[in-house]
Structure 1
Amino acid sequence: MEKTNTPLMSQYYKIKSQYPDQILFFRMGDFYEMFGEDAKIASRILGIALTSRSHGKSERVPLAGVPYHAAERYISLLLKAGKKVVVCEQVEDPKTAKGLVKREVVELITPGTITIDSLFDSDEKNFLASLVGDGQNFGLATLDLSTGEFKVEEGFLDRIKEKLNTIRPKEIIIPQRFSEEKKIGFENFKNHAALTFLDDFKFDYDLAYQTITDHFKTTSLDGFGISDLKLGISAAGSIISYLEQTKKTYLSHINKITKTSYDECMFLDFSTLRNLEIFSPFSPTDEKDFTSKKNSLFHILNKTKTPMGSRLLKEWLRSPLYHVEKIKKRQDSVSELLGKRDKTVDLAKILDRIQDTERLAGKLGYGKANPKDLVALAMSLRNVPEIKEVLKGFNSSLLNCIKENLPDTSFIVDLVEKSMVDDPPSVLTEGGIIKKGYKGELDRLKESIKTSRNWIASLQKEERQRTKIPSLKVGFNRVFGYYIEVTKTHLSKVPEDYIRKQTLVNAERFITEELKKKEEIILGAEEKIFELEHYLFLEIRSLVSKKIEDIQKTSEYLATLDVLLSFKEAASSYRYVRPEIDSSDEVIIEEGRHPVLEHLVEKGYVPNDTTMNSEEKIHIITGPNMAGKSTYLRQVGLIVLLAQAGSFVPAKKAKIGLVDRIFTRVGALDNIATGKSTFLVEMNETANILNNATSKSFILLDEIGRGTSTFDGLSIAWAATEYIHSHPRLCSRTLVATHFHELTELARLLPRVKNYQIKVKEWGDEIIFLRKIVPGGCDDSFGIYVAKLAGVPREVLERAKEILLKLEGEELSYKNVPRPEGFTKEKSYQLSIFSARDNQIAQELKKIDINKLTPLEALNKLEELKKKAEE
């Protein structure tokens, strides 16, 4: 038997057929309803009731619904569960509709196109990315819909994938033809990004070019400087096309597209950002507070007052500068801010009053700004003239640029303050938005309501007097309107002009002709007020939207000022100094400190010096486990990064020659998700360094080769260090922390290698870690002592010492593998500060009873111990 749908369900299925893979929010009055499989999925994810409704003559369809005013919360839960949501609205008033209410899809919400405030992290960007390639090169476009930031670039696949790993987009658009391309490795992004495959024609260059120029209303892309990026344009065009499909509106805040250039920025890959703990700790544990994002460089530096300032700080840390003059401009500003404390206090207080104007501009662009948003925007922009006034006392070029170029946004401030109440509702339909005096017609309507309500307010007193009914009351409800209520005990006193309206258990409700007229005046005026206020608000929002570019420029300048003030505050609070920046190969740091750990250690942090130049480019750093080698490597890397970001640095004095990229091979973690062992991860990172580093790079190698056997690891570490030193493309500044003490031989064989060690002090049977870097190599890693600190049973320690003695005495080698050329026999594989032989001598000394020895016996015993010590 053929199934017959109701008109409503026919309308639903027609719309749903266009969005088979998304959850359809179908507006029905005060609810968004979901049907069929959508209802089942939503019920499970959202924890809402699953019911059913009539589907036709004899069938029922699953149904679930959410209130329209709470829709954003439910949509956010669906997005977090990996779903995409289609919003279908009633586009005509049900009161005036003839037959079935007309409905249209107004928005498709995906992870990369969200416009819901509650889903945004205030200090994170929300990127939508698009990727397309020809096998060799790839084009990448990225867009943050919440701010309008739109960028494009091209490069080899590995570089593009590193960029994606670094910026962590929420959604990536990819041509359908790539869906089966395993070698591209898109599956690696599934953990943090939704993958959306579009038809290949969406990436056609000619179509993309036309789509972008249509959006920007230009005839070419020459003015944006991206005309040479054919693949990049293809990717960017697919984003605009995707937004047209999902947002169903012109996005005026996307008003420019810029080319990403790496010529003037240091490149930091995801591995380096993670290993240096820029935004979060590398190895979270449950101990103390080391899991917290507070223990990251970003948190230590983040003294910003505005959300856009916080986001810009992340961008500066993610992409430090590679341009001496630009770095110096930032430094000059920080120096000047440090010298004018009173004014910086004033600036910080003003910035603290400013909300997220950058994202408010975005809400204007995609038509989601509500009355509260406009008032928040005006209240924020009201502070701009005061900032310009305070900046008059500054002369550094960057601060002067901010002062001179902050746009005049007084039009927005004046318009909103003149037209809108100070604390409006966020929902348009509630009314109470427009200020008295802005629109005469609106004022007259409100006055008529006020007059009528005053009359109604006095009616109760007058009617009680006229009817002699003391319990008579005048009331209102949304169903029956205004009424006069009389209890049944007084019904005999009801006047003839009362018209019965409603019967209750213990009372009757009436209305009079005059009350009915007043009700019509009030209800008619209220409806007109809501319509007029809605119209006026949209008109005001439209006028403000014409100033989006000014709002965006203002946000950009305020964010820059905010970050510079944050750098100033960090320098002042933490005793940072201005580093000297040039293009040399030097890294000279006097009493450098780790910017994060100095705040976490209970005892005073021990500062260390670093001296690197064209004659001394590679440092081999040896020393005990737990002595601080890894911390030192990260410390130097972070100081270099901070210096090129324009910040002051934690040191007594510093000079940094420009670095184009920081590479790190630090720590050891299995990558279980991709089936990679610790050693394979280590070798992948090492290969990346050796293949991509340049003479201007800075390399941090921590315990390279420890993930395999001793001799394999030593050989790899030795060869890699030689390669970095001698390859004509490299000779990079490099710090190598190692437990392979044989590597110290390289300082004798290679001219630009120097040995350093972490100093320790012996104290009886104990050692003290002094955390100090000093010249020279160390033969001992103190492994057995560290095992003792960890609580390894004493019998295991004693047995380890015996085995160590045999290893040292026999100088065992693995399968007779020859030692690296230049290796000297004196270097041992000793793993403890106290050798087993020394331990035996010490035990014999303890057994001697000096009081029972004659002088001659004592001399003989001393000679015997001396011979043992010399063996």
Structure 2
Amino acid sequence: MFTKPGVCGGSTAAGRCSSSSSEPEPGRRPRYNFGLMETPRSGEGKGDGYSASESGGTSSTERLVQNNKLPSGSHTSGFTPGAANANNTSRGNNSVLSVLSAPSSSLCRDRDGARVGKTPLSAISHNTRSSCRMRTPQTGHSVTSSSAISAHCVASVIVAVVEGRGLARGEIGMASINLRSPELILSQFADNTTYSKVITKLQILTPLEIIMPNTACDKGTATKLFSLITENFKTVAFTTVQRKYFNETKGLEYTEQLCIPEFNTVLMEVQSKYYCLAAAAALLKYVEFIQNSVYAPKSLKVTFQGSEQTAMIDSTSAQNLELVINNRDPRNSHTLFGVLNYTKTPGGNRRLRSNILEPLVDAETINMRLDCVQELLQDEELFFSLQSVISRFLDTDQLLSVLVQIPKQDTVTAAESKITNLIYLKHTLELVDPLKAALKNCKTSLLKAYCSSLDDNRFNIILDKIKTVINDDTRYTKGCLNMRTQKCYAVRPNINEFLDIARRTYAEIVDDIAGMITQLGEKYNLPLKTSFSTARGFFIQMNTDGVILPSGQLPSEFMKVTKMKNAYSFTSVDLIKMNERCQESLREIYHMTYLIVCRLLSEIYEHIHCLYKLSDAVSMLDMLLSFAHACTLSDYVRPEFTDTLAIKQGRHPILEKISVEKPVPNNIYISEGSNFVIITGPNMSGKSTFLKQIALCQIMAQIGSFIPAEYASFRIAEQIFTRIGVDDDIETNSSTFMKEMKEITFIIQNANDRSLIIIDELGRGTSTEEGVGICHAICEYLLNLKAFTLFATHFLELCHLDALYPNVENNHFEVQHTRKSPQTTEKITYTYVLSKGHTEEKNYGLKAAEVSSLLPSIIHDAKEITSQISKQLWQKQMSTPESLRQRAVYRLATRLVQTARNSCLDANSLRVYFRGLKKRYESDCLATEEATEMEVE
């Protein structure tokens, strides 16, 4: 049933394939220790690559605010205490364990005809993670997928992908679930032959494992989609499932069973989305099997994400712009994510990351976020009170994931995890009132909506029920021994007599351990102290400062000695025995506490759905606080959204943070009338940095952040493409020029009128003549789109496109030349200032060579040869008077249209502006007349 692809999957199958019975082994452990075996603190400190479980689009509360539907204070739910067990039984009879089977003859062939065995269910049991996850890491992959080792190591998302057949080929259905977060995300969209949307979506999700139908690599050949996915995700585990389990009817049935009432409107949205429902059916069955657990009914947040809800940023562009991972050092925080990340919770961290990779395209939602950031900046009391409360929250998503999963088998580890997470739940619920109090005087609609969502009686109901069983002073604490003590004494005394006896026994053992270590210290006259770790239990530690050991060695009674810088740690036979007694006592305590906790959870399950809105509120507030925090550290401005891209004194956000000196600010103006900007200038003049700056500011604006500028106006970009300098790719046997052509082909195939396109140094991988020709043809193609394009080039011939196309604007970066004396070498000073017109600099490669250690004779010969070639190739082109006249009329018309659409000026200011337009038009007409006279002469 479950198959590990071989060469047909683009990688060697890991682990031994078997064709035995598909019945599972009793007592089988979950494949991945996520969710059931983790606590909300386990996901912290993961850094930039933490797998995204937050959707990059509009949150549920944001949609409610847009629709003027604020959350009500109280809700009822169809979840009943007995429903979990009933559902567990019913689904167990029809579970993946009994339904799915793997014929022993089921084999697929790789491209060379080699047989690749299918891994049956019995083979995916004890050490499956090592057998199906571990593959040799490759290099050179996308920024948001397997190239980031740290990101991949903490990935926790499983994704199912299916493609339509026949006439429906190209229609893609996807379903994903994060094992750390109880949210099922469904997507369905039409893709082209490059499958760019699929690859981009998967790279944003950073999957732990991908499942696809076995027909994708059946009969010795792999489909194009399968080949592309396995090529781009070489270190991700792949599993193929028989096509019949991608069943849209079952998918809808499972979705209806599991979707919580607050999000059941999604059911109407996905009823006709057959492919995403089919993917959901296979995914849920597969997760149920590998994790050996089921989700409780009405326990999952189900969301549908269409491709039109967020802007598309392909993996190459994300890597070029260093959105979440630094290209030189993946552990480095010099990224856009690093600039904006002042989040305090794992949920806020994930939401920020996913929003950067998938910016919003709805201006209303973006402005709601900007309103919140502005209020946080203007109200310091609100900012600091919110930040104080938010920083105390744990990973609410992961907490929910643990609470809604029902283990098929009770273990000590599962019991301990449930107890721990009940303590975390109590800690979380006790923060609701402080959070609500911090938000009570807010003014913006979105913050009011989050405050209203917290005004839910279910929070108090759950907390009151917990306090009837759990001690009031039980709380989350740092330190493994402190937390163990909290778990042991979490349940109030006198609820279970045997539990009270077990706890007294445990306390006596701990006291005996401390007493024994004190006696050993007195016996050997050594400063011994009791220490504890989760792995070793209780052990002995001794500081070596000022201690002289007899004969330079520890007494022979001590064993398992570890020498550290200023201390020894060790144990003894008696201490090992007492640790075993302690563990046995703990198991009894955990078992009895677990039974009490399970009864308590069965009583609060029907109210637990309010935590989904709490999780949404905490992660969004954390991200908005992070935006406001970033603004306080630099001079940022609120962006506007119009039909133009206009930035005054804009700065590169990453460069501004890491540079010792302040970066040089620059202006840019792009509109429909001048939507193609050519930028020229010498090497190292700042062209590439400026292009990245524009794209980064565009992304910052579309996620709801302020911008490093004095003024900023943006047109919403539905797609952001970049093609920035590349080198040869040995792995795919691609030259620099071939990689350039592949990247530019991708842009041409996918760009539309609402795209932002950044192209830097296209054509440098081939000869000058061919480079100019290719660039000219590509420019003319892009000029026919209404996309905003910035094109940096060394080919000055392209600057003459402004004579042919009125929507072309030339800009260049200025440089200054100084020479102290006629005998000294000329010095080039880069100003990093963007100016109108094309650069007058010529042969700046030779000028750069002059300041190097190259021999003067070689430089002299190079100048002579360059001069001769330039005379043959360079022919100055003058614009005709008619083209200049048309350009002047076109520029005036577009400025008038822009003013009519977006102007907020009063009558007097508008008159002044129109006078300026008139003077500019008259100046252009005068230039036309002069050109006519010159032509006559």
Same fold (TM over 0.5): yes
Write out aligned runs for 1:211-226 (5 A): 211-216=254-259, 223-226=267-270
Report what 1:653 is aligned to.
711
1:760 partnered with 2:815: yes
1:527 deviates by: 8.8
Report what 1:280 is aligned to.
325
SS state at 1:295 partner: coil
* Shift in alpha-carbon separation, 1:387–1:210, aligned structure 2, 3 A: closer
Asked if 2 retains the 8 angstrom alpha-carbon contact of 1:122 and 1:307, the reply is no
Report what 1:296 is aligned to.
335
1:593 deviates by: 0.3
Write out aligned runs for 1:467-866 (5 A): 531-582=591-642, 584=643, 586-726=644-784, 730-764=785-819, 765-779=826-840, 780=842, 782-811=844-873
SS state at 1:596 partner: helix
Asked if 2 retains the 8 angstrom alpha-carbon contact of 1:106 and 1:247, the reply is no
Asked if 2 retains the 8 angstrom alpha-carbon contact of 1:112 and 1:170, the reply is no
SS state at 1:570 partner: helix
* Shift in alpha-carbon separation, 1:576–1:427, aligned structure 2, 3 A: closer
Provide the C-alpha distance between the structure 1 equivalents of 2:760 and 2:606, rounded to a whole number of angstroms. Answer: 54
1:409 partnered with 2:465: no
Which amino acid in the other structure matches residue 195 of structure 1? F
* Shift in alpha-carbon separation, 1:107–1:120, aligned structure 2, 3 A: farther
SS state at 1:682 partner: helix
Provide the C-alpha distance between the structure 1 equivalents of 2:864 and 2:851, rounded to a whole number of angstroms. Answer: 19
Q: Which deviations, in whole Å up to 9, do the C-alpha atoms of 1:703-756 show, x marking residues without a partner?
A: 111122111111111111111112xxx221110000101110011211000100
Asked if 2 retains the 8 angstrom alpha-carbon contact of 1:172 and 1:196, the reply is yes
Structure 2 residue corresponding to 1:164, chosen from 183, 202, 216: 202
Provide the C-alpha distance between the structure 2 equivalents of 1:626 and 1:759, rounded to a whole number of angstroms. Answer: 11
* Shift in alpha-carbon separation, 1:111–1:579, aligned structure 2, 3 A: farther
* Shift in alpha-carbon separation, 1:723–1:537, aligned structure 2, 3 A: same
Which amino acid in the other structure matches residue 161 of structure 1? I
Report what 2:399 is aligned to.
360
Structure 1 residue corresponding to 2:309, chosen from 240, 255, 264: 264
1:181 partnered with 2:229: no
1:132 partnered with 2:174: no
Report what 2:71 is aligned to.
none
Provide the C-alpha distance between the structure 2 equivalents of 1:318 and 1:192, rounded to a whole number of angstroms. Answer: 21
Provide the C-alpha distance between the structure 2 equivalents of 1:229 and 1:676, rounded to a whole number of angstroms. Answer: 39
Which amino acid in the other structure matches residue 395 of structure 2? D
Q: Which deviations, in whole Å up to 9, do the C-alpha atoms of 1:23-71 show, x marking residues without a partner?
A: x9989xxxx9x9xxxxxxxxxxxxxxxxxxxxxxxxxxxxxxxxx99xx
Q: Which deviations, in whole Å up to 9, do the C-alpha atoms of 1:647-696 show, x marking residues without a partner?
A: 10010111112221111111213333333332222112211222221211
Asked if 1 retains the 8 angstrom alpha-carbon contact of 2:155 and 2:208, the reply is no
Asked if 1 retains the 8 angstrom alpha-carbon contact of 2:151 and 2:206, the reply is no
Asked if 2 retains the 8 angstrom alpha-carbon contact of 1:123 and 1:308, the reply is no
SS state at 2:374 partner: helix
1:604 deviates by: 2.2
Which amino acid in the other structure matches residue 573 of structure 1? L
Provide the C-alpha distance between the structure 1 equivalents of 2:587 and 2:652, rounded to a whole number of angstroms. Answer: 65
1:544 deviates by: 5.0
* Shift in alpha-carbon separation, 1:231–1:122, aligned structure 2, 3 A: closer
SS state at 1:673 partner: coil
Provide the C-alpha distance between the structure 2 equivalents of 1:361 and 1:370, rounded to a whole number of angstroms. Answer: 11
Provide the C-alpha distance between the structure 2 equivalents of 1:709 and 1:254, rounded to a whole number of angstroms. Answer: 61
Which amino acid in the other structure matches residue 246 of structure 2? F
TM-score (norm 2): 0.63
| Superposition CA RMSD, Å | 4.1
* Shift in alpha-carbon separation, 1:388–1:212, aligned structure 2, 3 A: closer
Provide the C-alpha distance between the structure 2 equivalents of 1:525 and 1:192, rounded to a whole number of angstroms. Answer: 43
* Shift in alpha-carbon separation, 1:201–1:152, aligned structure 2, 3 A: same
Provide the C-alpha distance between the structure 2 equivalents of 1:719 and 1:711, rounded to a whole number of angstroms. Answer: 12
* Shift in alpha-carbon separation, 1:213–1:760, aligned structure 2, 3 A: same
SS state at 1:246 partner: helix
Which amino acid in the other structure matches residue 339 of structure 1? Q
Asked if 1 retains the 8 angstrom alpha-carbon contact of 2:266 and 2:304, the reply is no
SS state at 2:337 partner: helix
Provide the C-alpha distance between the structure 1 equivalents of 2:236 and 2:299, rounded to a whole number of angstroms. Answer: 22
Which amino acid in the other structure matches residue 258 of structure 1? T
Structure 2 residue corresponding to 1:145, chosen from 165, 179, 196: 179
1:770 deviates by: 0.2
Asked if 2 retains the 8 angstrom alpha-carbon contact of 1:718 and 1:743, the reply is yes
1:217 deviates by: 9.4
1:449 deviates by: 6.2
1:820 deviates by: 11
Provide the C-alpha distance between the structure 1 equivalents of 2:753 and 2:201, rounded to a whole number of angstroms. Answer: 22
1:112 deviates by: 14
Provide the C-alpha distance between the structure 2 equivalents of 1:25 and 1:803, rounded to a whole number of angstroms. Answer: 81
SS state at 1:651 partner: coil
SS state at 1:672 partner: coil
Report what 1:79 is aligned to.
none
Structure 2 residue corresponding to 1:234, chosen from 260, 278, 281: 278
1:194 deviates by: 1.2
Q: Which deviations, in whole Å up to 9, do the C-alpha atoms of 1:513-560 show, x marking residues without a partner?
A: xxxxxxxxx999999756432321333344455444222221111100
Provide the C-alpha distance between the structure 2 equivalents of 1:587 and 1:540, rounded to a whole number of angstroms. Answer: 57
Q: Which deviations, in whole Å up to 9, do the C-alpha atoms of 1:70-95 show, x marking residues without a partner?
A: xxx9xxxxxxxxxxxxxxxxxxxxxx
Provide the C-alpha distance between the structure 2 equivalents of 1:160 and 1:104, rounded to a whole number of angstroms. Answer: 30
Q: Which deviations, in whole Å up to 9, do the C-alpha atoms of 1:151-204 show, x marking residues without a partner?
A: 222222332233223332121101111123252223313324211111121113
Asked if 1 retains the 8 angstrom alpha-carbon contact of 2:800 and 2:877, the reply is no
Provide the C-alpha distance between the structure 1 equivalents of 2:152 and 2:224, rounded to a whole number of angstroms. Answer: 35
TM-score (norm 1): 0.68
Write out aligned runs for 1:70-109 (5 A): none
* Shift in alpha-carbon separation, 1:812–1:645, aligned structure 2, 3 A: closer
* Shift in alpha-carbon separation, 1:529–1:587, aligned structure 2, 3 A: closer
Provide the C-alpha distance between the structure 1 equivalents of 2:334 and 2:716, rounded to a whole number of angstroms. Answer: 27
Which amino acid in the other structure matches residue 175 of structure 2? A
1:216 deviates by: 4.7
Report what 1:244 is aligned to.
288
Structure 2 residue corresponding to 1:378, chosen from 409, 426, 448: 426
Provide the C-alpha distance between the structure 2 equivalents of 1:638 and 1:531, rounded to a whole number of angstroms. Answer: 53
Could you tell me which runs of 5 or more consecutive residues in structure 2 were left unpaired when the two chains were aligned: 1-15, 32-36, 43-121, 134-148, 407-413, 514-581, 820-825, 881-937
Aligned residues, how many? 654
* Shift in alpha-carbon separation, 1:281–1:792, aligned structure 2, 3 A: farther
Provide the C-alpha distance between the structure 1 equivalents of 2:389 and 2:443, rounded to a whole number of angstroms. Answer: 20
Provide the C-alpha distance between the structure 2 equivalents of 1:428 and 1:243, rounded to a whole number of angstroms. Answer: 30
* Shift in alpha-carbon separation, 1:812–1:524, aligned structure 2, 3 A: closer
Asked if 2 retains the 8 angstrom alpha-carbon contact of 1:704 and 1:717, the reply is yes
1:267 deviates by: 1.6
Provide the C-alpha distance between the structure 1 equivalents of 2:677 and 2:295, rounded to a whole number of angstroms. Answer: 53
